[in-house]
Amino acid sequence: MRYIEPTRVKVLMMMFYATGTLGIVIGLTVASGGATLMITFLGVINIGLGAFFTFLLLTQTQTTPDKRKKKRKSD
């Protein structure tokens, strides 16, 4: 997997954690009938995606650009 900027990963993490938490809360309190299980389940999936992006943020290393491909200025 290619390197993703840390600020972008943090935004994705916050988005997934917030929507997951909101989905679980709405699924357990507001929703009624058969939708309760589905909304709660989708909230759990969003929490899992947030955990994946947290893992990605903590384990990725920044690659240095290859100096062989860089053009040199001719003075």
pLDDT in tens, 7-54: 999 999 999 999 999 999 999 999 888 889 999 999 999 999 999 999
CA 28 to chain centre: 24
Q: Is residue 16 part of a domain?
A: yes
Residue 34 to residue 50: CA distance in whole angstroms: 25
Q: How many domains is the chain partitioned into structurally?
A: 1
Structural domain boundaries, residue 23? 6-59
Question: pTM score, two decimals?
Answer: 0.78
Enumerate long-range contacts of 59-66, CB under 8 Å, 24 or more apart. Answer: 60/1, 60/3, 60/4, 61/3, 62/3, 63/3
Q: Is residue 64 part of a domain?
A: no
Q: Is residue 70 part of a domain?
A: no
pLDDT of residue 35: 87
Residue 20 to residue 57: CA distance in whole angstroms: 19
Number of H helices, E strands in the chain: 2, 0
Q: Is residue 1 part of a domain?
A: no
Q: Is residue 50 part of a domain?
A: yes
Q: Is residue 71 part of a domain?
A: no
